[in-house]
Amino acid sequence: MTGFIDALRVSASGMDAQATRLRYLSENIANADTPGYHRKTVSFHAATGRDAPAGAVRPGPMRLDAAEPERIFDPAHPLAGADGYRQGSNVNLLVEIADTREAGRSYEANLRVFDQLRQMSTALLDLLRR
C-alpha cells in the first residue's frame, strides 16, 4: 500500500508545483501593463528528504526575469521622461498565455493520475474485504 501512497504524494507534489507556477503566471499577466514590472518565474526541483518519494517535485524560489523592460515612446504619458520614453514591463503576453496553458494541462494530468490511483486503491480494498 505504500506504493499507492508514494504515487499519490508524487502526483500531489506535481499539482502543488503547477499551482504555484499558475499563481506567478497570473500575476505576470495582471501586471503586463505595470511600468517597471519584471516577470516572475519559478523552476522545479526534485523533492529531497527522508519523507519525499522518488519523483516528487517542489517549486524553487521565485525569480525575477533579468530582461530589461520595454521602453515605450509616449511623450504625453505622465511617467515619460524628458526624452519622451517611459518604462514598460518585460512581460510577453503570448509567452505567459502559452505557459499558462502548459501548466494547466500538467496540473490536469497530475489530477487524473491522482484520481486513477485513488480508484485503484479503492478497488484493491474492496477486493481485500471479500
* Residue extents of the structural domains in the chain: 2-129
Q: What is the DSSP letter of 64?
A: E
| Angle ∠(78,84,90) on CA atoms, nearest 5 | 80
Tell me the mean pLDDT in the region 95-107: 96
- Cα–Cα nearest to 77, from 92, 93, 88, 91: 88
Q: Which three cell numbers stand for residue 95?
A: 509567452
* pTM (2 d.p.): 0.84
Identity of residue 68? E
Q: Which of 15-19, 41-45, 46-50, 81-85 has the lowest mean pLDDT?
A: 46-50
Would the pLDDT of 2 be above 80?
Answer: no
Tell me the mean pLDDT in the region 19-47: 94
Residue with cell 497570473: 26
**Mean pLDDT computed over every residue of the chain:** 91
Which pLDDT score is estimated for 1? Answer: 53
Judge contact between 80 and 28, C-beta under 8 A: no
Identity of residue 2? T
Tell me the mean pLDDT in the region 49-67: 88
